[in-house]
């Protein structure tokens, strides 16, 4: 009888994707149909299914309920630590280095390793600690420094680090890197520049009755186009005010005059043109000489005694100050012939015996010789006035130090001889009484 073997294979999760494989083997026996006994009759092994050609089928997709159950049964993995460490490379510049050109500046370098979840105030405290260690400033304040950051190949343009938003922006860019890092540049904040004023400042000095003035921008060398603004001082403000008052007072109304401001003497109708230098000298003399705060100038006030006002009509030498007259007289005197220097040298009597040998005639006192030479018109022989007679035999040639040491002369005599140009016994022999 035929034997039927049915074997069913079912997938684990989805029945729709699995197929039921049925194997039937028909065996013909001598009698009718009967079910084979597995113990008595051996069951033949089913043949292996043939592999189908083509792409393999996709794995069965689990249903939503099955996925949720598997997720609940799966063991929970420990949460990973999301905190990262950021390395900050600091470059600090001192005040001296900031004054140098950019290519010559040298920085003081250090680093910081901080967590990415710290607050901005903590970062500022750490930066101030590094500034105190490396720069040692007198006043430690975060606002006194210009702090910028950048990240190579990510944020190349320098960005300011002054607020908490700037810090969060830095952390966001740093964490994108495999090794979080950032470069921070710390430099002393430059003070705000002073805007130049429209009024020209004038520096005036008064020396012994004469006023000297120097205007900015009058140097021999060519200066650059960069404007050097000068700070306003009370003296400059007062001078500018006086210049404006003088311009209003001496405004020239004569038609065809070459100058807008002219000085007119009460007794002479000729006009003396007043330039900016004349007005600056006049205003400085008005302030420095009179020391008063009046804003109006009397009409009878004459200009100051200055060489720029020497050509004023009606001015004579009498109006010049006595000190200036004496200086001008000394300058105009012809130079006299220059005479040689006169040395007055006094030698004690006890030293005279050193130079005069035994039996030689003692020289007369210096005062008696001078009086005798004045009383007599006969010229005196130079040998008679010499301290050492020319007939005397000269001793060893000694230096000034050896001479004073040998004859036990004091330091005062050594200094006196040295100051008068005597270097040894060779020059001492030419001393004249």
Q: Do 254 and 180 share a domain, yes or no? A: no
CB 414 within 8 A of CB 404: yes
Q: How many CB atoms lie within 10 A of CB 409?
A: 16
How is residue 206 written in tokens? 């008064």
Give 49-94 pLDDT, tens digit per residue. Answer: 666 676 666 555 455 556 566 555 555 444 445 578 999 999 999 8
Q: Do 168 and 114 share a domain, yes or no? A: yes
Assigned domain for 327 exists: yes
329 phi, psi to nearest 5 deg:
-65, -40
pLDDT score for 89: 94
Q: Do 269 and 364 share a domain, yes or no? A: no
Q: Do 256 and 365 share a domain, yes or no? A: no
pLDDT score for 388: 66
Q: Do 312 and 213 share a domain, yes or no? A: yes
Assigned domain for 79 exists: no
CB 265 within 8 A of CB 314: yes
The better pLDDT of the pair 179, 14 is held by 179
Assigned domain for 371 exists: yes
How is residue 246 written in tokens? 């003088």
Is the confidence at residue 241, as pLDDT, over 90?
no
What does R_g of the chain's alpha carbons equal in angstroms?
A: 57
Assigned domain for 64 exists: no
Listing DSSP states for 399-420 in one string gives: BHHHHHHHTT--HHHHHHHHHT
How is residue 339 written in tokens? 């005479």
Is the confidence at residue 12, as pLDDT, over 50?
no
Judged by DSSP in three states, 169 sits in helix
Q: Do 366 and 419 share a domain, yes or no? A: yes
Alpha-carbon distance of 64 to 69, in angstroms, equals 9
Of the listed ranges 183-187, 260-264, 309-313, the one predicted with least confidence: 309-313
Is the confidence at residue 413, as pLDDT, over 80?
yes
CB 265 within 8 A of CB 301: no
Domain count, the chain: 4
Task: List % helix, strand, coil for the chain (3-state, nearest 5).
Answer: 30, 15, 55
Alpha-carbon distance of 191 to 10, in angstroms, equals 85
**Average pLDDT in the 284-308 region?**
64
**What is the four-CA torsion angle of 252, 253, 259, 260, rounded to 10 degrees?**
70
Of the listed ranges 107-121, 156-170, 186-200, 269-283, the one predicted with least confidence: 186-200
Is the confidence at residue 377, as pLDDT, over 70?
no
Judged by DSSP in three states, 385 sits in helix
Burial of 165 (0-12, 13-18, 19+ CB in 10 A): exposed
pLDDT score for 59: 57
Q: Dihedral sign, CA of 290, 294, 296, 298?
A: negative
The better pLDDT of the pair 180, 39 is held by 180
Q: Do 249 and 134 share a domain, yes or no? A: no
Give 107-127 pLDDT, tens digit per residue. Answer: 999 999 999 999 999 999 999
**Average pLDDT in the 195-204 region?**
47
Alpha-carbon distance of 232 to 203, in angstroms, equals 12
How is residue 131 written in tokens? 């500034």
CB 136 within 8 A of CB 92: no
Q: Do 255 and 177 share a domain, yes or no? A: no
Residue-range definition of the domain harbouring residue 95: 85-188
pLDDT score for 36: 47
Q: Which of 259, 284, 282, 283 is nearest to 272 (CA)?
A: 259
Of all residues in the chain, the percent with pLDDT exceeding 70 is 52
Alpha-carbon distance of 147 to 251, in angstroms, equals 56
Assigned domain for 175 exists: yes
Assigned domain for 320 exists: yes
Per-residue CA distances from 28 to 24, 43, 102, 394 (Å) = 13, 14, 106, 170
pTM above 0.75, yes or no: no
Alpha-carbon distance of 371 to 378, in angstroms, equals 13
- CATH number, domain at 97? 3.10.20.90
Assigned domain for 255 exists: yes
> pLDDT-derived band of residue 383, with 50, 70 and 90 as boundaries?
low
Per-residue CA distances from 414 to 63, 187, 402, 404, 406 (Å) = 123, 62, 10, 7, 12
């Amino acid at each position: 009888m035929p034997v039927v073997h049915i074997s069913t294979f079912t997938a684990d999760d989805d029945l729709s994707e699995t197929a039921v494989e049925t194997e039937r083997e028909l065996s013909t026996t001598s009698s009718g149909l009967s079910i084979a006994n597995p113990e008595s009759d051996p069951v033949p092994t089913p043949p292996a299914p043939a592999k189908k050609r083509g792409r393999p089928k996709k794995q069965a997709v689990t249903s939503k309920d099955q996925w949720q159950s598997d997720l609940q049964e799966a063991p929970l993995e420990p949460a990973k630590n999301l905190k990262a460490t950021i390395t900050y490379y600091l470059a600090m510049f001192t005040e001296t280095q900031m004054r140098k050109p950019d290519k010559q500046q040298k920085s003081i370098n250090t680093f910081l390793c901080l967590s990415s979840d710290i607050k901005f105030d903590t970062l500022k405290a750490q930066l101030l600690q590094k500034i105190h260690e490396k720069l040692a400033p007198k006043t430690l304040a975060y606002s006194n420094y210009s702090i910028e950051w950048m990240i190579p190949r990510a944020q190349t343009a320098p960005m300011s680090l002054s607020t908490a938003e700037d810090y969060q922006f830095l952390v966001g860019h740093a964490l994108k890197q495999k090794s979080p890092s950032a470069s921070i540049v710390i430099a002393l904040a430059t003070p705000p520049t002073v805007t130049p004023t429209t009024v020209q400042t004038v520096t005036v000095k008064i020396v012994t009755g004469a006023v000297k003035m120097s205007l900015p921008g009058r140097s021999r060398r060519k200066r650059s186009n960069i404007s050097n603004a000068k700070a306003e001082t009370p003296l400059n403000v007062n001078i500018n005010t006086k210049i404006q008052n003088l311009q209003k007072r001496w405004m020239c109304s004569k038609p065809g005059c070459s100058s807008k401001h002219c000085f007119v003497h009460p007794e002479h109708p000729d006009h003396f043109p007043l330039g900016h230098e004349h007005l600056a000298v006049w205003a400085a003399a008005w302030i420095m000489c009179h020391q008063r705060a009046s804003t109006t100038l009397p009409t009878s006030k004459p200009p100051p005694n200055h060489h720029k006002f020497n050509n004023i009509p009606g001015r004579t030498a009498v109006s010049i100050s006595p000190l200036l007259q004496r200086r001008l007289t000394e300058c105009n005197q012809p130079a006299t012939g220059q005479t040689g220097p006169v040395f007055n040298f006094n030698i004690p009597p006890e030293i005279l015996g050193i130079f005069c040998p035994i039996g030689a005639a003692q020289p007369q006192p210096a005062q008696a010789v001078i009086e005798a030479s004045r009383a007599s018109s006969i010229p005196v022989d130079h040998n008679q006035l010499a301290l050492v007679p020319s007939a005397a035999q000269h001793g060893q040639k000694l230096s000034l130090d050896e001479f004073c040491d040998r004859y036990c002369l004091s330091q005062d005599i050594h200094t006196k001889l040295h100051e008068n140009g005597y270097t040894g016994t060779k020059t001492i022999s030419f001393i004249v009484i």
